[in-house]
Amino acid sequence: MASKQKRIYLDYAATTPVDERVLEAMRPYFTQVFGNPSSTHTFGQEAEAAVEEARESVARTLNCQAEEIVFTSCGSESDNLALRGAAFAARQQRGAKHLLIAAAEHHAIAHTAEQLDRLYGFQVEMIPVDAAGRVQVDEVERRIRADTALASVMYANNEIGTLNPVSEISEVCRARGVLFHTDAVQAAAHLPVDVQALKVDLLSLGAHKFYGPKGVGALYVRKGTPLIPSQTGGGQEFGLRAGTHNVPYLVGMAEALRLAQEERSDRAARLQALRDRLIGQTLENIPGAFLTGCPVRRLPNHASFVFEGVDGNTLLRLLDMEGFACSSGSACKSGDPKPSGVLLALGLPPKLALGSLRVTLGKDTRPETIEDFLATLPEVVERCRRLA
């Protein structure tokens, strides 16, 4: 049980609280403007106007046209629609069956690609990452074939914070006529998401990672990109994603994205200083501690480590007892823990990968909190080592 006195959230990569301003923007759309946007009467038209306004707002932020934004139910669904939609369309149109996926992707990409390979006859090829978790542009280029349907490389890694050279990879893909998708779910709170500058064809977003509500997302689809819908039914979302719109959540996502991008630079500068203090002190004060991911090209709010001789799940439990909510890379909450695929892709030994810790900061994180955490962590790591 977590202590009642102190509860400190340091897991903003898992999810963020809804910004009060976002909640206010959403409120009227639960009870007052409640129509179905697909209805022709005034109730419906009012709701439809709200959806289209949200679409225009998201499009402005991404520097694209409103018709290029497809609303979905989450970041995972956006990833699924991008991968399945582009893969099936490319095979139908030109017999393409080869997919390039980076080795450190989120499960929403990795498990979708695995299924496309196992059950649907696609050939999925992994693009390796370096020891910092970064994809090298030439590793993508040399794997492109005449029958490559799509390449997918995430913008920022949720587990290790590493940033990928997205615009350079997309340039190579574009030159070779291969569609390029990026999972920007973790990046959108902290990095620019101008799809023209990034030169991507498809880009996934999930609102709850940038102070919007859970259960809503968006996929940018560059005009002319062939996609086969993965959820069929009504004609919503240009026929690409059936289902009655979640109007308040779409309004909330648009406002959250606008605010996140507007406030991004100031926030990043403040958080990066705290992050660097956290990383520096942890590596200095704890023997057998290593940073995972890239020391330089990483999310401004993201610190991730492995500790020798530590079980990550035990570490999380002990930290929670001290009032700190963090995360680790291992997939299992209990029982037989498996090292994270992302950490293994970096080339870490499995035993060391089991001792992982992720500490992610957010807009409410104060400097005193980081000092408090730094004062607690060495002793907790020591206790873990004695328990191992």
Among 48, 183, 255, 311, binds ligand PLP (CB under 6 A): 183
Contact map string, positions 102 to 121, toward ligand PLP, x by CB under 6 A: ----x-x-------------
**Is the Cβ of residue 144 or residue 218 nearer to ligand PLP in the bound state?**
218
Among 55, 84, 98, 209, binds ligand PLP (CB under 6 A): 209
Pairing of strands 123-127, 324-325: unpaired
Stretch that binds ligand PLP, among 180-188, 251-259, 285-293, 351-359 (CB under 6 A): 180-188
Stretch that binds ligand PLP, among 4-12, 46-54, 88-96, 182-190 (CB under 6 A): 182-190
- Cα dist. 20→51, 127, 265 in Å? 20, 40, 20
Q: How far apart are CA 80 and CA 70, in angstroms?
A: 13
**What minimum distance in Å lies between the beta carbon of 94 and ligand PLP?**
28
Q: How far apart are CA 282 and CA 285, in angstroms?
A: 5
**What minimum distance in Å lies between the beta carbon of 73 and ligand PLP?**
8
- Cα dist. 162→67, 109, 133, 280, 295 in Å? 31, 17, 6, 17, 8
**What minimum distance in Å lies between the beta carbon of 209 and ligand PLP?**
6
Stretch that binds ligand PLP, among 90-98, 183-191, 273-281, 374-382 (CB under 6 A): 183-191
Q: How far apart are CA 237 and CA 218, in angstroms?
A: 11
Pairing of strands 356-360, 324-325: unpaired
Q: Scan for tokens 């679409």, then name that residue.
A: 55
Among 54, 69, 74, 359, binds ligand PLP (CB under 6 A): 74
- Residues 242-271 binding ligand PLP (CB under 6 A) are none
**What minimum distance in Å lies between the beta carbon of 76 and ligand PLP?**
3
Among 70, 89, 179, 185, binds ligand PLP (CB under 6 A): 185
Contact map string, positions 34 to 73, toward ligand PLP, x by CB under 6 A: ----------------------------------------
Applying CB under 6 A, the site for ligand PLP has a residue count of: 15
Query: Has 64 been annotated as catalytic?
Result: no
245 touches 109 (CB < 8 A): no
Q: Is 181 a residue that touches ligand PLP (CB under 6 A)?
A: no
CA-only gyration radius of the chain, Å: 21
**What minimum distance in Å lies between the beta carbon of 269 and ligand PLP?**
22
Q: Is 217 a residue that touches ligand PLP (CB under 6 A)?
A: yes
User: What's the order of all strands across the beta sheet hosting 98-102?
Assistant: 69-72, 217-221, 202-206, 179-183, 148-152, 98-102, 123-127
Q: Is 76 a residue that touches ligand PLP (CB under 6 A)?
A: yes
* Ramachandran area for residue 211 (φ above 0: left; ψ -120 to 50: alpha; else beta): left
**What minimum distance in Å lies between the beta carbon of 77 and ligand PLP?**
7
Ordered DSSP codes for 110-168: HHHHHHHHHHH--EEEEEP--TTSPPPHHHHHTT--TTEEEEE--SB-TTT-BBP-HHH
CA dihedral 300→302→308→309, nearest 10 degrees, is 160
The type of residue at 264 is R
Q: Scan for tokens 């030159």, then name that residue.
A: 175
Q: Scan for tokens 């498996």, then name that residue.
A: 338
**What minimum distance in Å lies between the beta carbon of 372 and ligand PLP?**
26
Q: Is 101 a residue that touches ligand PLP (CB under 6 A)?
A: no
Q: Is 340 a residue that touches ligand PLP (CB under 6 A)?
A: no
For the annotated catalytic residues, the residue numbers are 332
Q: Which residues contact ligand PLP (rule: CB under 6 A)? A: 74-76, 79, 106, 108, 154, 158, 183, 185-186, 206, 208-209, 217
